[in-house]
Structure 1
């Protein structure tokens, strides 16, 4: 019994078809059938009920599939851990980050990694956090740097700083500014007074969009989205050109001069207006010493950066 046979069983269990499983595995159906038949002979038990329309796991097959998943997971983890015990210039550490967060602190992340892991080549993969999280779960990415929450139980998350979510609008927005005497108490903005304003939001499903909707709900209204984007820099640009009001994270202060910016930022009293930005990685997947050095590299840089405190 080897890895390949375990993968065969999992593919058949998933597709409920020898034909579809063979296509996914790039093997011939006869070769796949023979491999499963040899395995069943070896185990002296049937793993699948077969008929003309579908293939279903037997009770023994259900147990086998659960064990096969765990075995393949452990084998994959072991390979990764052994790989990172090597210390030569060819070793690579892959870091996933969104375009927005990469823009704002990727440079000091790379500096920190070069200091703590000088023998490693650094590979950067950009993408939305859910996409990066899936890559981590699949073993295709070592680390990710993005906001909480984490959706996959196998992915561990170490917070490195707290980011504030701020309400923003253009300084030339006369209607928005006319409400400030009643809306802003010098510390927090009363978002409810802006419920009829046109909002520029991230697309539905993205983390900050989900959070923005929840914040508005906590103030008793649903935001009217007139424009949607996948990029926070685009939202900032649209607010700069006075197309509407928006939510932006405090991390943006890394790259703009607040005093010279055409955009005003206001804190929210809502408990939802804060979130953790951190390092995500698969628990037990990498050498602990490597994990510690990456966390240290990023944490040290964040602790000395006033804009991220």
Structure 2
């Protein structure tokens, strides 16, 4: 039994005339009659009664038509569903994100994408920047949000990145620290201070290293952690200094913490990163185009750190 035969049956049942039905399905009347006879022989029942003057459905034909309509309707629904995959409106996207994603305001963009494509399922994998690279290059994730795309990126797998948000690195210190009364310092003044560090797979670790090297010294790290809350707690107790994204600090201000800008300024950028492919999957292309179009029409980038904050 073929789908075309089901369509021939429905058309003949509508017209009860071989010539008119054949015209609608663009075949000859004899060809239409042969296909109907072939189907009847296959099923072992007569579906249409024929006389020299008329064509009519048999009881078996009536029941066949009812079921054929359901089958073709289901096939049509399947085609509609599959078309959504073809155009990238259904499916799954695996997203790798660094822990600071919320502070950069990108979660609202992802939510907006989800509203635009409600049939797409999003899966999130949170890890530090350099832990996400292998997942992206191995195809374990489809896209990554990285704050250190320009550092230590793999050379064998071509990647493409689109910068979303620029942010300024700042120093946080206890409010009793001598730096706390100043709005901005020369970073070299902190060369003898103890810094708390994020893990070496974190973009913040390498940004801190770069900023201190640019100021002419090697930072003295006294404690390493993966958690912002831990560093904020230690700094609030006066146990050392730390460098954080100004956006992260603004989102997580705590008592007894002062925020100090420094020279030379260190800017870090959050980018959305994909594997570079000649023919990306439609669903990934839709995700990419959503963010590219957003970048073209919005100015979340280059948001300055407005003021020093003491809590």
TM-score greater than 0.5 by the shorter chain:
yes
**Cα distance change, pair 219–240 in 1 and its aligned pair in 2 (3 A):** same
C-alpha contact 2:167 2:302 (8 A) present in aligned 1: no
User: Which residue in 2 is equivalent to 1:263?
Assistant: 257
C-alpha contact 2:179 2:260 (8 A) present in aligned 1: no
Q: Does 1:169 align with 2:173?
A: yes
User: Which residue in 1 is equivalent to 2:290?
Assistant: 293
User: Which residue in 1 is equivalent to 2:86?
Assistant: 85
C-alpha contact 1:189 1:269 (8 A) present in aligned 2: yes
Matches within 5 A, 1:45-124: 85=86, 87=88, 91-102=91-102, 105=105, 107-124=107-124
Task: Tell me by how many angstroms 1:245 deviates.
Answer: 0.7
> The residue matched to 2:207 in structure 1 has which SS?
helix
Alpha-carbon distance between aligned partners in 1 of 2:129 and 2:296, rounded to the nearest angstrom: 19
> The residue matched to 1:99 in structure 2 has which SS?
coil
User: Which residue in 1 is equivalent to 2:32?
Assistant: none
Task: Tell me by how many angstroms 1:201 deviates.
Answer: 1.4
Larger radius of gyration between Structure 1 and Structure 2: 2
Task: Tell me by how many angstroms 1:279 deviates.
Answer: 0.4
Q: What are the ranges of 5 or more consecutive residues in structure 2 without an aligned counterpart?
A: 1-82, 307-311
* Alignment TM-score, normalising by the size of structure 2: 0.59
Q: What are the ranges of 5 or more consecutive residues in structure 1 without an aligned counterpart?
A: 1-81
Task: Tell me by how many angstroms 1:269 deviates.
Answer: 2.1
Residues 243-292 of structure 1 deviation map (CA, whole Å, 9 limit, x = unaligned): 211101112145235xx743211222225x10211101111234333310
C-alpha contact 1:100 1:231 (8 A) present in aligned 2: no
Task: Tell me by how many angstroms 1:164 deviates.
Answer: 0.7
> The residue matched to 2:217 in structure 1 has which SS?
coil
Task: Tell me by how many angstroms 1:148 deviates.
Answer: 2.5
**Cα distance change, pair 191–303 in 1 and its aligned pair in 2 (3 A):** closer
Alpha-carbon distance between aligned partners in 2 of 1:254 and 1:85, rounded to the nearest angstrom: 42
Q: Does 1:303 align with 2:304?
A: no
* Alignment TM-score, normalising by the size of structure 1: 0.60
Give the alignment's Cα RMSD to 1 decimal.
Answer: 3.2
C-alpha contact 1:133 1:280 (8 A) present in aligned 2: no
User: Which residue in 2 is equivalent to 1:46?
Assistant: none
User: Which residue in 2 is equivalent to 1:152?
Assistant: 154
Aligned residues: 216
Task: Tell me by how many angstroms 1:87 deviates.
Answer: 4.8
> The residue matched to 1:148 in structure 2 has which SS?
coil
